């Protein structure tokens, strides 16, 4: 039923599209499912600190209940994410996770809580851009999650996780919603398939989110939904309560059987002039089956490298005046695409080279990749200097 609801959001007229800006929408007990595309020869490095807390579970009917020996279970994760764009289409990424897991029991319980420390679930993967045109993109992604810990005695300290290998594959689609000279609002939807070892059920990870980003520096914001839909293929037990929660005093934060979960999340932050993003965010589970009910709080920073793709001369010489000038009508910094108000009826051809010129001189060299009668799309080939392209800048064709 939940999967049918999710698919219906993509039908015409639904108005539901989304984008993931960060990892705060995903609870710490499942690996993050998020797109990791980077432009060619560019890289990013992110550091996030997340706190997850749960004091109850959802049963198989979606009703919350509290295990008798549980006061609460929590996790603190320090995650470091790196991504590298090898080409315009292919990106590689990895996530290093350091984890603290804790369990507290009621004062009336005969059971004891505890705390564990160590490496958590690590991730590596590849992202391949299969389609990109006029600020619309589709990415295909593979991701492998694997534990850097071993669960030995469930009656000892709290387990750091399920200790399973997860192999995921899926797609992400991004579309522009609104943009002007200072800000762009985009939307992304993603859906995949995850295979898990140790007899745990396969599931469908998904996301829906919208974000707002500045063209240069300014406020960042995002809001949306993310979750997993179990395919109910778990072979561990016919009763979730028999296996789920071992090592965490009954909390489904570990060994959940056939878990399904929907989480709502939001984030706000600031991007500096040096392309550094600082963010804070949080999420809350809003529905689940055989899953923990909890919330996540987080803060992080992301650094972007390689935007200055060329090494220009110290004083770039403006291109000679030609008979064809155009005006930039839109620009997407994430995709390195610009749109001008001249097209095939004006003598523009695919492959033509344009220089984009701002108030302080030449900014970037571009090539026409797509045409209409009175507009064209350009792909940035190199930057003359570190500056932002704005609506209204001049685009001048070379001889």
**Is residue 22 scored above 60 in pLDDT?**
no
What's the average model confidence in pLDDT over 330-341? 85
Q: From CA 102, how far away is CA 230, in angstroms rounded?
A: 26
| 361-371/353-358 β-pairing | antiparallel
Domain holding 165: CATH number?
2.40.160.40
CB-CB contact of 141 with 127 (8 Å): yes
**Is residue 274 scored above 80 in pLDDT?**
no
384: pLDDT confidence band, cut at 50, 70 and 90? confident
19 and 47 assigned to the same domain: yes
273: pLDDT confidence band, cut at 50, 70 and 90? confident
310: pLDDT confidence band, cut at 50, 70 and 90? very low
Mean pLDDT of the chain: 82
**Is residue 177 scored above 60 in pLDDT?**
yes
Instruction: Evaluate whether residue 197 is within a structural domain.
Output: yes
Instruction: Evaluate whether residue 310 is within a structural domain.
Output: no
**Is residue 341 scored above 80 in pLDDT?**
yes
Q: What per-residue confidence (pLDDT) applies to 246?
A: 62
Query: Which of these ranges, 61-75, 176-190, 261-275, has the smallest mean pLDDT?
Result: 176-190
Instruction: Evaluate whether residue 39 is within a structural domain.
Output: yes
- Coil, strand, or helix at residue 344? helix
Instruction: Evaluate whether residue 155 is within a structural domain.
Output: yes
Beta bridge partners of 192: 170
151 and 290 assigned to the same domain: yes
234 and 379 assigned to the same domain: no
Q: What per-residue confidence (pLDDT) applies to 7?
A: 29
| DSSP codes joined into one string, 33-96 | -------TT-EEEEEEEEEEEEEEEE-TTS-EE--TT-SEEEEEEEEEEEEEESSSSEEEEEEE
Share of the chain above pLDDT 90, in %: 50
290 and 330 assigned to the same domain: no
Residues 126-146 as b/e (b if ≥16 CB within 10 A, e otherwise) read ebebeebebbebebbbebebe
Better-predicted residue by pLDDT, 317 or 167? 167
Phi, psi of 251 (to 5 degrees): -75, 135
CB-CB contact of 31 with 230 (8 Å): no
Instruction: Evaluate whether residue 315 is within a structural domain.
Output: no
Instruction: Evaluate whether residue 316 is within a structural domain.
Output: no
Instruction: Evaluate whether residue 312 is within a structural domain.
Output: no
**Is residue 15 scored above 50 in pLDDT?**
no
125: pLDDT confidence band, cut at 50, 70 and 90? very high
6 and 130 assigned to the same domain: yes
**Is residue 138 scored above 50 in pLDDT?**
yes
287: pLDDT confidence band, cut at 50, 70 and 90? very high
pLDDT tens digits, one per residue of 343-361: 988 889 988 999 999 888 8
**Is residue 147 scored above 50 in pLDDT?**
yes
What's the average model confidence in pLDDT over 227-254? 75
**Is residue 335 scored above 50 in pLDDT?**
yes
64: pLDDT confidence band, cut at 50, 70 and 90? very high
| DSSP codes joined into one string, 105-154 | --TT-SS--EEEEEE-EEEEEEEEEEEEETTEEEEEEEEEEEESS----T
Phi, psi of 6 (to 5 degrees): -65, -45
100 and 216 assigned to the same domain: yes
**Is residue 166 scored above 70 in pLDDT?**
yes
**Is residue 143 scored above 90 in pLDDT?**
yes
Q: What per-residue confidence (pLDDT) applies to 326?
A: 92
Q: What per-residue confidence (pLDDT) applies to 17?
A: 24
243 and 161 assigned to the same domain: yes
Q: What per-residue confidence (pLDDT) applies to 333?
A: 77
**Is residue 179 scored above 90 in pLDDT?**
no
The residue whose two tokens read 């992604």 is: 141
Range of the domain at 333: 325-397
Instruction: Evaluate whether residue 148 is within a structural domain.
Output: yes
Structurally, the chain folds into a number of domains equal to 2
Q: CA-based Rg of the chain, rounded to a whole angstrom?
A: 24
Better-predicted residue by pLDDT, 397 or 127? 127
Phi, psi of 5 (to 5 degrees): -60, -40
What's the average model confidence in pLDDT over 97-103? 93
């Amino acid at each position: 039923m939940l999967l049918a609801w999710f698919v219906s959001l993509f039908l015409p007229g639904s108005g539901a599209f989304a984008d993931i800006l960060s990892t705060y929408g995903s609870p710490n007990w499942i690996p993050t499912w998020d797109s990791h595309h980077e432009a060619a020869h560019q890289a990013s490095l992110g550091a996030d600190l997340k706190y997850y807390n749960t004091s109850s579970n959802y049963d198989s009917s979606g009703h919350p209940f509290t295990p008798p020996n549980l006061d609460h279970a929590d996790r603190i994760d320090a995650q470091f994410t790196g991504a590298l764009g090898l080409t315009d289409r292919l990106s590689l990424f990895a996530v290093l996770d350091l984890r603290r897991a804790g369990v507290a029991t009621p004062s009336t319980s005969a059971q004891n809580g505890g705390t564990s420390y160590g490496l958590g679930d690590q991730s590596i993967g590849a992202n391949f851009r299969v389609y990109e045109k006029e600020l619309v993109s589709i990415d295909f992604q593979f991701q492998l999650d694997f534990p850097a810990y071993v669960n030995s005695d469930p009656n000892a300290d709290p387990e750091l996780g399920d200790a399973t290998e997860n192999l995921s594959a899926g797609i992400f689609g991004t579309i522009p919603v609104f943009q002007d000279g200072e800000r762009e609002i985009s939307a992304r939807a993603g859906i995949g398939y995850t295979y898990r070892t140790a007899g745990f059920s396969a599931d469908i990870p998904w996301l829906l989110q919208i974000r707002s980003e500045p063209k240069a520096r300014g406020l960042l914001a995002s809001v949306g939904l993310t979750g997993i839909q179990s395919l109910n293929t778990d072979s561990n037990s016919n009763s979730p309560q028999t296996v789920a929660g071992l090592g965490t005093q009954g909390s489904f934060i570990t060994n959940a059987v056939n878990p399904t979960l929907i989480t709502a999340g939001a984030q706000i932050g600031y991007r500096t002039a040096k392309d550094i993003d600082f963010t804070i965010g949080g999420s809350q589970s809003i529905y689940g089956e055989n899953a923990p009910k909890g919330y996540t709080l987080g803060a992080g920073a992301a650094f972007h490298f390689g935007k200055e793709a060329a090494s220009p001369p110290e004083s770039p010489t403006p291109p000679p005046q030609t008979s064809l000038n155009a005006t930039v009508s839109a620009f997407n910094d994430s995709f390195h695409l610009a749109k001008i108000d001249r097209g095939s009826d004006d003598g523009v051809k695919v492959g033509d080279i344009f220089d984009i010129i701002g108030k302080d001189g030449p900014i970037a060299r571009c090539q026409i990749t797509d045409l209409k009668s009175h507009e064209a799309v350009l792909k940035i080939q190199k930057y003359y200097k570190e500056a932002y392209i704005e609506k209204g800048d001049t685009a001048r064709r070379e001889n």
